[in-house]
Copies of this chain bind each other. A is one copy, B any other.
Amino acid sequence: MTDRFVSNFTNRLDAKGRVSIPSSFRAVLAKDGYEGLYVHQALDLPALDAGGNALRGTIDDILARFSPFSDEWELLSTALNGTSEVLKVDPEGRITLSEALKAHAGIGDTLTFVGHGHKFQIWEPERFRAHLDAAKTRLRDVKRALGGLGTPGIVGTQAGGAGT
């Protein structure tokens, strides 16, 4: 299970703006074989996308959907590649976000790492809470829509247990 980013962690930035990458995330990055952390601003969210080679790959995939000379490609490349940064990870596993990145996510002195499988996001904690509420609402809708499609047990299966 060390090959996916899961769960969320809230850490504090110190006086120099450094923040520890959660240990479990570092393990995933190490397995991905990446020195440095790949970070860019999320397109529609006040958050940052971060990861290793796996994230790089998904960005290339997105761009590959468009002709390299199209306006769309140009726009996406600007948004993704143009705002990307490769952050150095210090010996203790900490990174320092640039002002631009912090501004985009509205980050002050704490931030939340959120696992997304192949990548993870970085949020300002309060904003993440709100976003999570929205996500749960959406999941309810999807669950209803998928109801009876043979995906047992992802959420709220209603069976009762037997008495012992």
Contact = CB atoms under 8 A, between A and B. Distances in A.
Interface residues of A, number: 75
Contacts of A8: 82-83, 161-164
Number of copies: 2
Nearest to A82: B114
A93 interface: no
Interface string A111-151: 00011111101000000100110111011101100100001
B82 A116 contact: yes
A51 to B, nearest CB: 8
A121 B83 CA distance: 13
Most chain B CB within 10 A, of A38, A44, A161, A162, is at: A161
Nearest to A136: B79
Nearest to A35: B1
Nearest to A47: B156
A74 interface: yes
